[in-house]
Structures are given as C-alpha cells and as structure tokens.
C-alpha cells in the first residue's frame, strides 16, 4: 500500500512513521509513505498556501492552486483515491479502514486541511472522499491522516505478527473487546478469571465472547443494534444470562 500525504508540515510525521509497526511495515516494503510539502508548489516569493476568504470572516483558507499542482504531480502515472481530512467529512470507522485497506489501486492520497479549510473548488474537482476522525477540531489534518495510515496499515496482510489480531479487534465484530490478562496470576488481590486458565479453548472463546457483550452493553450499547447474532451466539447469550439485556437494548435502539 502506498500513502501520499499532502501537508504543509511534513515534519509532524517523522517520529510516528519511525516507530513500532509502521517502521517495520515500511522496512519490509509492505507500505510506502511519501510526504509532499504543499509549499513546494506555491508560486509566489513567500510560498503562500493560504489566503483570506472571499466574503470576509475569520481565519484563512488553503489556496487551490498549490494544492492542485501538488496533487497533479503526485497522481502522475499512478492514480490513487484522494481523501481530504476535514471536520465535515464522514466519520472514520474500522469498517472504513477495512475498505481502504483493499483499494484496487493500492494507493491513498491524504490531503491535510488547515486553518478554516481548503478552497471548495479543490474539493469539488479532486477529492473522492472527506473523512473526519471525530466530532472535534484539530489544528490541522496531519494527526487525522496519521490515524488513517496507522489503522489501514495494520489491516494489510502480514503487517501484524498474529494474523488473527485484526479480525478479533474491537469494532471488527461490532463488539468491544473483552478484558485482557497476563502474568502474574494475582495482582493486588485480583486474580485472572478461572476460565482463561482452564486450557479449554471452547470455554475460553465462550468466556471472551460473553465478556465482549458485557463490555459493549455497559460502555457502548448502541453498537449492539447493528449485530446479527448466529444461532450459536444466541445460545451462548442465553446461557450467560445476557440474552434479555441484549434484546432490550436492541429494541431501545430501533431493532
């Protein structure tokens, strides 16, 4: 997967890309991340990438000319999906990351908005999709772009050490992940749940499933509304005494 990032602050990406899984994925050739400083395509002596908005108002707006020129060169020879990181975009989810990880072109172009946003004409002419990582405002799209790179990269084949890790993530099944435990068996008077020490893989899987449902019921009940339960899962919910609670929550959220 190739990521091309259009930004006026490329240095913001240096440390995150040189650490952990992203560093290993780059070294292994599983991803490439190319940073493009939009200022290099500005044409005035001050390398301006923003200007005051027509009609007046607060702040500055990113100019369409350097953005378009930068994108034109980035897209030369290999067209990729163009994504603008913007507060008005569709909320970025695990499902979005999954879709982006299997893009046919194998290339994503991430445009980092700044100030009051980018000139609307650039968006209309060039942007395939706008994405937001949440209902809050950042100083720019760089951190949001880094979130997209990280979330998509870990879904690519071979990137994670355990091939089942991505499939069992929180949100991948529509449930929050169950609690995790490691050594020691006892810590500050709290013990690891007996089911996890049983060696019975079926029992462990059932325990983890029910704990995921309990966590979701407690923390994010609305997530349950979109889940289609298998016959075996319904049996486990009834056995674990959670079926009625799940049914109640699903009714409350329109199912």
Active site residues: 87, 116, 154, 169
Question: Interior CA angle at 245 toward 241 and 247, to 5°?
Answer: 115
What's the rounded Cα separation, in Å, for the pair 190 and 173? 29
- What dihedral do alpha carbons 93, 96, 102, 106 form, nearest 10°? -100
DSSP 92: P
Bridge partners of 35, per DSSP, are: 5
**Both ends of the chain: CA-CA distance in Å?**
38
Using the Cα atoms of residue 232, residue 233, residue 238 and residue 241 in order, give the sign of their dihedral: positive
């Amino acid at each position: 997967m190739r990521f091309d990032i259009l930004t006026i602050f490329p240095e913001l990406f240096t440390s995150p890309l040189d650490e952990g899984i992203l560093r290993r994925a780059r070294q292994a050739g599983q991803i490439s991340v190319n940073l493009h400083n939009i200022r290099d395509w500005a044409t005035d002596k001050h390398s301006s990438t923003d200007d005051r908005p027509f009609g007046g108002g607060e702040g500055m707006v990113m100019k369409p000319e350097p953005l378009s020129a930068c994108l034109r060169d980035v897209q030369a020879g290999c067209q990729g999906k163009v994504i603008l990181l913007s507060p008005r975009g569709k909320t970025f989810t695990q499902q979005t990351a999954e879709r982006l990880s299997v893009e046919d072109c194998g290339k994503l172009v991430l445009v980092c908005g700044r100030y009051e946003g980018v000139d609307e004409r650039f968006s209309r002419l060039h942007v395939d999709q706008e994405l937001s990582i949440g209902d809050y405002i950042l100083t720019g799209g760089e951190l949001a772009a880094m979130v997209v790179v990280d979330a998509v990269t870990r879904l690519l084949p071979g990137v994670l050490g355990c091939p089942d890790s991505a499939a069992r993530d929180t949100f991948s099944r529509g449930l929050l992940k169950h609690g995790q435990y490691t050594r020691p068996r006892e810590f500050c008077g709290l013990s690891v749940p007996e089911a996890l020490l049983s060696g019975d893989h079926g029992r462990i899987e059932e325990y983890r499933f029910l704990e995921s449902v309990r966590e979701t019921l407690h923390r994010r009940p609305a997530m349950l509304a979109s889940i289609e339960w298998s016959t075996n899962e319904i049996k486990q919910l009834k056995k674990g005494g959670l079926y009625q609670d799940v049914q109640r929550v699903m009714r409350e959220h329109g199912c």
